[in-house]
Amino acid sequence: MNDSKSKFNKNGLNRFGMISIIGLKGIPLIKPGDDLGQIIVRAAEEQGIEIRDEDVIVITQKIVSKAEGRLVSLKDVIPSEFAEHVARNMNKDPRLVEVILRETSRIIRMKDRRLIMETKHGFVCANAGVDRSNVEGEDFVSLLPEDPDKSAREIRSRIKELTGKSPAVIITDTWGRPWRLGHIDFAVGIAGMSPFRDYRGQADMFGYTLRVTRMAVADELAAAAELAKGKSEGIPVVIIRGYDYPKGDGSAKDLIRPLERDLFR
Amino acid sequence: MNDSKSKFNKNGLNRFGMISIIGLKGIPLIKPGDDLGQIIVRAAEEQGIEIRDEDVIVITQKIVSKAEGRLVSLKDVIPSEFAEHVARNMNKDPRLVEVILRETSRIIRMKDRRLIMETKHGFVCANAGVDRSNVEGEDFVSLLPEDPDKSAREIRSRIKELTGKSPAVIITDTWGRPWRLGHIDFAVGIAGMSPFRDYRGQADMFGYTLRVTRMAVADELAAAAELAKGKSEGIPVVIIRGYDYPKGDGSAKDLIRPLERDLFR
């Protein structure tokens, strides 16, 4: 990747000073067992896009979960007594609550029909990432991938196999936030990059040391990509080109604030 | 703007399916009284960019605050007794704590040297938006604009005056998040757009109604723009082109979760 380095400055802009967010069209409905890496490479080709080392490929969690068969039929779920109690209090489907609890390692808030959970991975989000939307069949729900970083690494390897290129890969999910209305996309799995761009210790424009700023660029890339997705239509994969992402072997789990440094858990 | 509508589909992608994030170079150091609208129009012209109605212009809060003279010299600040107590406990400058308290309407958390405040505007962020970085003079700190929506509207009007075009304008600040490490940029003021793209009531790909998803696109645009900024260098203004932002007269305050619907305040 050294040959491409000179095209970028340290802000991650290419020589044209432009970052492009390109939605990949023509991704088919994904089924368990599908080869996502190959599907992405083909969709890019059909759109006339040659994948590059310096691209970031941003993939919606939902299609990764489907390809990995992380789907549960509620018909097969027997709720625990606790799930029944919670469901009754919150006016929810006890089978759905049961699936959510199975994905949960810690309950953060349980109030007003909202279940804010810490998932087995350590992410804090509503319903532990269990979701009904864009899943075929009324009784099916999707779970987050078992290990989203591993999913990202596997897709990245497959893309490398097929194209010789090693773009960064980000898997995203759509979450609400405390204090603010509306959802945005967050990074839940990454490969080939660090989730942070670190300015700590660098001087600002006036020579003072920037003390605290470490930008969560994996989350910013996730949010940027969402702009080209749209919820109800079939654009689950986006290519971001022209951003010199921080190379490395980071994990999306690095984005999780450790419990002892968290004032809101 | 009707003539441009056909270029976009309802996901906000232009006919090339691409969103561009363009950092504006050559913005000079901003001083109180500077005409930001004119400075932005000139910087765009020098870069060969003609501003369009369909652009989103994303501006870092810091230069807006400077242009509006929202700077405080700590030398002029006499800390209250409460500010002295807090500063002693937290090993902070009591004058800085005093300025922060003056910007605060409610203290959300006060722990581990961190002051998470609700600002007079209703935003929840560290230090009530008071910041030392990228401000000239060691003793000066910057405050958030008094009314960031109004600041955005004024810049938008000035751009319209000079170019005849009415792009959307977003003013951003850089904040940390609960549960996650690293900072990202958020929208604190907007003009000419709604902060949300609303999918509630729409059907997903399989005909099920999407029940809860309202995307906070103003925040996603803020985060996307940050990728082209960089903290310590002079790119405080970014143009996002090719995203069909939701038109309207929204306010960034619409993004604030009402207290009674907030589980974390």
10 Å Cβ neighbour count for B249? 11
**Is A164's Cβ below 8 Å from some Cβ in B?**
no
- Stretch A63-81: mean pLDDT, rounded? 97
8 Å CB contact between A245 and A221: yes
Q: Is B33 part of any domain?
A: yes
Asked if residue B125 and residue B53 are part of one domain, the reply reads no
d(CA A172, CA A62): 9
**Is A210's Cβ below 8 Å from some Cβ in B?**
yes
User: Which tops the pLDDT comparison, A78 or A136?
Assistant: A78
Q: Is A26 part of any domain?
A: yes
Give one word for B8, left, alpha or beta, with left for phi > 0 and alpha for psi -120 to 50. beta
- Which of A105, A170, A180, A237 best probes binding to B when mutated, by most B CB atoms within 10 angstroms? A180
Asked if residue B192 and residue B127 are part of one domain, the reply reads no
User: Which tops the pLDDT comparison, A171 or B201?
Assistant: A171
| Beta strands at A168-175 and A56-60: parallel, antiparallel or unpaired | parallel
Domain count, chain A: 2
| pLDDT score of B54 | 96
Query: Cα distance from A99 to chain B (closest Cα, Å)?
Result: 19
For residue A92, give the CATH number of its domain: 3.90.1660.10
Q: Is B232 part of any domain?
A: yes
Asked if residue B227 and residue B252 are part of one domain, the reply reads yes
DSSP state of B96: H
Average pLDDT of the residues of chain A: 91
| Beta strands at A124-126 and B18-23: parallel, antiparallel or unpaired | unpaired
Q: Would you say residue A162 has pLDDT above 70?
A: yes
The confidence band for A235, taking pLDDT boundaries of 50, 70 and 90, is very high
Query: Cα distance from B156 to chain A (closest Cα, Å)?
Result: 22
8 Å CB contact of B213 and A255: no
Range(s) of the domain holding residue A104: 71-142
Asked if residue B209 and residue B103 are part of one domain, the reply reads no
Q: Is A199 part of any domain?
A: yes
**Residue B172: closest CA among B223, B235, B231, B244:** B223
The confidence band for A133, taking pLDDT boundaries of 50, 70 and 90, is confident
Asked if residue B213 and residue B122 are part of one domain, the reply reads no
**Residue B216: closest CA among B202, B198, B193, B200:** B198
Q: Which of B142, B174, B193 is the last residue of a domain?
A: B142
Asked if residue B164 and residue B99 are part of one domain, the reply reads no
| pLDDT score of B2 | 38
* The two structure tokens encoding residue A173: 């999910």
**Locate tokens 């490929």: which residue?**
A57
Q: If contacts are CB pairs under 8 Å, which of residues 225-244 in chain B contact chain A?
A: 226-235, 243
Q: Is A264 part of any domain?
A: no
d(CA B175, CA B195): 18
User: Which tops the pLDDT comparison, B63 or A138?
Assistant: B63
Q: Is B248 exposed, middle or buried (0-12, 13-18, 19+ CB in 10 A)?
A: middle
Q: Is B150 helix (H, G, I), strand (E, B) or coil?
A: helix
Q: Is A3 part of any domain?
A: no
Q: Would you say residue A4 has pLDDT above 60?
A: no
Is the complex ipTM higher than 0.90? yes
Digit-by-digit pLDDT tens for chain B (265 residues) are 333 444 555 545 554 568 999 999 899 999 999 999 999 999 999 999 999 999 999 999 999 999 999 999 999 999 999 999 999 999 999 999 999 999 999 999 999 899 999 999 999 999 999 998 878 777 899 999 999 999 999 999 999 999 999 999 999 999 999 999 999 999 999 999 999 998 887 877 777 776 668 999 999 999 999 999 976 667 999 999 999 999 999 999 999 999 888 999 8
Cβ contacts from A onto B, under 8 A: 258
Asked if residue A241 and residue A162 are part of one domain, the reply reads yes
For residue B123, the chain A residue with the least C-alpha distance is A179
| Cβ-nearest to B178 among A178, A214, A243 | A178
* The two structure tokens encoding residue A26: 């023509």
Asked if residue B163 and residue B62 are part of one domain, the reply reads yes
8 Å CB contact of A231 and B204: yes
Residue type, B17: G
Q: Would you say residue A6 has pLDDT above 50?
A: no
Q: Which of B116, B142, B168 is the last residue of a domain?
A: B142
| Cβ-nearest to B216 among A184, A232, A264 | A184
Q: Is B13 part of any domain?
A: no
Q: Map chain A to HEC letters.
A: CHHHHCCECCCCEECCCEEEEEECCCCCCCCCCCCHHHHHHHHHHHCCCCCCCCCEEEEEHHHHHHHCCCEEEHHHCCCCHHHHHHHHHHCCCHHHHHHHHHCEEEEEEEECCEEEEEECCCCEEEHHHCECCCCCCCCEEECCCCCHHHHHHHHHHHHHHHHCCCCEEEEEEEECCCCECCEEEEEEEEECECCCEECCCCECCCCCECCCCEECHHHHHHHHHHCCCCCCCCCCEEEEECECCCECCCCHHHHECCHHHCCCC
10 Å Cβ neighbour count for A3? 7
* The two structure tokens encoding residue B78: 């006499």
| pLDDT score of A203 | 79
8 Å CB contact between A167 and A192: yes
Could you give the C-alpha distances from A61 to A257, B71, B83, in angstroms and in order?
A: 21, 44, 46
Ranges assigned E (strand) in chain B: 18-23, 56-60, 71-73, 104-111, 114-119, 124-126, 140-142, 168-175, 184-191, 197-198, 214-215, 237-241
d(CA B57, CA B170): 6
8 Å CB contact between B181 and A256: yes
Asked if residue A200 and residue A87 are part of one domain, the reply reads no
d(CA A251, CA A152): 10
Q: If contacts are CB pairs under 8 Å, which of residues 13-72 in chain A contact chain B?
A: 13, 17-23, 25, 29, 47
User: Which tops the pLDDT comparison, A143 or B2?
Assistant: A143
Helix (H) or strand (E) holding B39: helix B36-46
Q: If contacts are CB pairs under 8 Å, which of residues 98-157 in chain B contact chain A?
A: 109, 111-112, 114, 116, 123-124, 132-138
Q: Which residues from chain B sit within 8 angstroms of residue A11, using beta carbons?
A: 23, 228-230, 233, 235
Q: Is B3 part of any domain?
A: no
8 Å CB contact of B19 and A255: no
Highest average pLDDT, of A6-15, A117-126, A131-140, comes from A117-126
d(CA A260, CA A157): 35
8 Å CB contact between A197 and A20: no
Residue type, B154: E
8 Å CB contact of B17 and A22: yes
**Is B179's Cβ below 8 Å from some Cβ in A?**
yes
| pLDDT score of B4 | 40
Q: Which of A112, A142, A172 is the last residue of a domain?
A: A142
- Stretch A184-209: mean pLDDT, rounded? 89
For residue A30, give the CATH number of its domain: 3.30.1330.100
| Cβ-nearest to B226 among A220, A230, A233 | A220
Asked if residue A81 and residue A97 are part of one domain, the reply reads yes
8 Å CB contact of A19 and B20: yes
Asked if residue A42 and residue A153 are part of one domain, the reply reads yes
Asked if residue B230 and residue B149 are part of one domain, the reply reads yes
DSSP state of B121: T
Query: Cα distance from A111 to chain B (closest Cα, Å)?
Result: 8
